[in-house]
C-alpha cells in the first residue's frame, strides 16, 4: 500500500471523529499543564475529585480487569478453548492501565513526580502508596504477558521463547497484584465515613470494588470480543460466529454468578450498617437503580442468556454490566461523595474533552497494534503453539 493509499484508507467517519476530539483535546492538554488545573476544570477544595478520578482512574482500572481474568482462565485454569480471547483482552488491559497512568497526570499535574513513591518519598501509611506500587507492578506484568505477540511481530524468536516461559509467572503475579489494588481503591473510601453517603459507605467497600471489577472485566471481555469480531473481520475469520457465541455463553455463566454474589453482598452491606430506613428516601431510590437495575438485572440477563442459548442477550447483559460498574464508580467518587454539600460538582466541558481524548487514544492505539501484530490472528510461524 502506497502512502497515498494508506492516507486514503484513514478517511473514515470514525477517524474524522477521532481527529476532531484530538484537535480539541491537545490544546486543552497544553492549557492544563501551562495554566494549572483550575484553567480547565471545575474542581475545588470542596470537590477535589471529578471525572478524571471517577471515570479515568476508578473505571479505567476496573474495566481493565479483563486482562487478569482471561489470563487466569487460560494460563492458570487451563481452559484453552478461550485462547482466541486471551491476547485481545490482555492488550485491552495493558492499554487500560497505561491510560489510567496517563489520565492520572492530568489530575496530579506534575508527571515527573509520578515515580516519587517508588524511589524518593515512601508514604507507607497511605493506601495510595500500596495502590501506586501495585498498579506499576501490574502494568509491568501485563507488559510481560504482551511480549509474545510483540516479539513475534519483530521476528525475535529467542526473545519470544523466553517471554513465553515468563507468562505463567506474570499471570500469577498479575492476579495477586490486581486483587490487592482493586480492593485497595475501595479501601481508600473507608477514611471518608462522614463524606460518603451511608448507602454507599460500608466496611465491605474493598470487597465491593474487587468483585465489581471482576464482573465489569467479564463484561468488557465480551464487549471487546464482539467489537473485534465485527470490525476486524479479516483477522477473525478463523473463529466462526458459532464458536465465539459458545465462548461468550461460557463467560456469561461466570458473569451471572459474580453479579448475583455482588448483589447479595451489597444487601449485606446495608444490613450491617443498619441503613434500611434510608432506602425509602430519594437517595435510596437512586441506590436501588444501581443495585437492582445494574447488578441484579444483568445477573438475570446473563442467566437467561445461558438457559436460552442466546449470545445476543449475553452481549446486552455485558454492556449493561459495564454501564453499571461505571455508574457505581461515579456514585462513590462523585455523586454520593459530599452528598450533603451545597456546592455540587459539575464537570467542565474541558474535563470531558480530556476524558474523551484519553478514550480515543486508547481505541486508536488498540487498532494500530491489532492491525500490525498477531493479536487476533496467530502468527504462521507459531501455528499450533499454545501461546
Residue 109 belongs to what H/E stretch?
Answer: none
378/88 Cα distance (integer angstroms): 12
Q: Write down the pLDDT at residue 321.
A: 96
Q: Write down the pLDDT at residue 324.
A: 95
Q: Write down the pLDDT at residue 215.
A: 94
Q: Write down the pLDDT at residue 114.
A: 82
Q: Write down the pLDDT at residue 352.
A: 95
Q: Write down the pLDDT at residue 199.
A: 95
DSSP state of 204: T
- Three cell numbers written together for 296: 441484579
In sequence order, what are the beta bridge partners of 196? 337
pTM above 0.95, yes or no: no
Check if the beta carbon of residue 354 is closer than 8 Å to that of residue 25. yes
Q: Write down the pLDDT at residue 387.
A: 65
Cβ-based neighbours of 4, under 8 Å, separated by 6 or more? none
387/375 Cα distance (integer angstroms): 11
Q: What is the mean pLDDT of each run of 10 residues along the chain (387 residues)?
A: 78 91 95 91 87 89 87 88 90 90 87 82 80 86 90 91 90 88 88 91 93 94 91 79 92 95 95 91 95 96 95 96 95 90 88 95 93 85 71
Check if the beta carbon of residue 334 is closer than 8 Å to that of residue 54. yes
Question: How many Å separate Cα 74 from the centre of its chain?
Answer: 19
Amino acid at each position: 500500500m502506497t502512502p497515498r493509499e494508506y492516507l486514503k484508507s484513514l478517511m473514515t467517519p470514525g477517524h474524522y471523529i477521532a481527529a476532531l476530539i484530538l484537535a480539541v483535546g491537545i490544546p486543552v492538554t497544553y492549557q492544563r499543564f501551562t495554566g494549572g488545573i483550575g484553567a480547565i476544570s471545575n474542581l475545588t477544595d470542596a470537590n477535589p475529585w471529578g471525572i478524571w478520578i471517577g471515570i479515568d482512574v476508578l473505571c479505567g482500572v476496573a474495566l481493565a480487569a479483563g486482562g487478569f481474568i482471561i489470563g487466569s482462565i487460560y494460563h492458570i485454569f487451563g481452559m484453552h478453548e478461550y485462547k482466541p480471547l486471551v491476547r485481545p483482552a490482555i492488550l485491552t488491559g495493558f492499554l487500560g492501565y497505561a491510560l489510567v497512568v496517563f489520565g492520572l497526570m492530568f489530575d496530579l499535574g506534575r508527571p515527573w513526580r509520578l515515580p516519587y513513591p517508588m524511589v524518593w518519598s515512601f508514604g507507607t501509611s497511605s493506601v495510595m502508596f500500596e495502590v501506586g506500587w501495585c498498579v506499576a507492578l501490574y502494568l509491568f506484568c501485563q507488559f510481560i504477558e504482551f511480549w509474545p505477540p510483540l516479539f513475534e511481530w519483530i521476528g525475535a524468536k529467542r526473545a519470544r521463547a523466553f517471554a513465553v516461559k515468563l507468562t505463567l509467572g506474570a499471570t500469577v503475579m498479575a492476579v495477586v497484584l490486581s486483587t490487592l489494588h482493586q480492593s485497595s481503591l475501595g479501601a481508600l473510601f473507608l477514611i471518608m465515613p462522614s463524606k460518603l453517603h451511608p448507602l454507599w459507605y460500608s466496611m465491605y467497600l474493598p470487597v465491593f470494588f474487587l468483585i465489581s471489577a471482576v464482573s465489569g472485566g467479564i463484561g468488557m471481555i465480551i464487549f471487546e470480543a464482539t467489537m473485534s469480531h465485527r470490525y476486524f473481520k479479516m483477522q477473525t475469520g478463523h473463529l466462526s460466529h458459532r464458536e465465539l457465541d459458545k465462548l461468550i455463553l461460557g463467560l456469561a455463566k461466570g458473569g451471572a454468578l459474580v453479579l448475583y454474589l455482588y448483589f447479595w453482598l451489597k444487601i449485606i452491606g446495608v444490613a450491617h450498617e443498619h441503613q434500611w430506613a434510608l432506602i425509602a428516601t430519594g437517595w435510596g431510590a437512586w441506590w436501588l437503580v444501581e443495585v437492582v437495575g445494574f447488578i441484579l438485572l444483568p445477573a438475570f440477563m446473563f442467566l437467561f442468556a445461558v438457559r436460552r442459548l442466546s449470545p445476543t442477550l449475553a452481549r446486552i447483559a455485558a454492556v449493561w454490566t459495564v454501564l453499571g460498574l461505571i455508574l457505581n464508580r461515579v456514585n462513590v467518587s462523585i455523586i454520593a461523595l459530599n452528598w450533603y454539600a451545597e456546592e455540587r460538582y459539575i464537570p467542565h466541558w474541558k474535563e470531558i474533552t480530556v476524558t474523551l481524548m484519553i478514550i480515543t487514544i486508547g481505541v486508536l492505539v488498540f487498532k494500530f497494534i491489532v492491525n500490525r501484530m498477531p493479536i487476533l490472528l496467530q502468527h504462521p510461524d507459531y501455528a499450533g503453539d499454545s501461546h
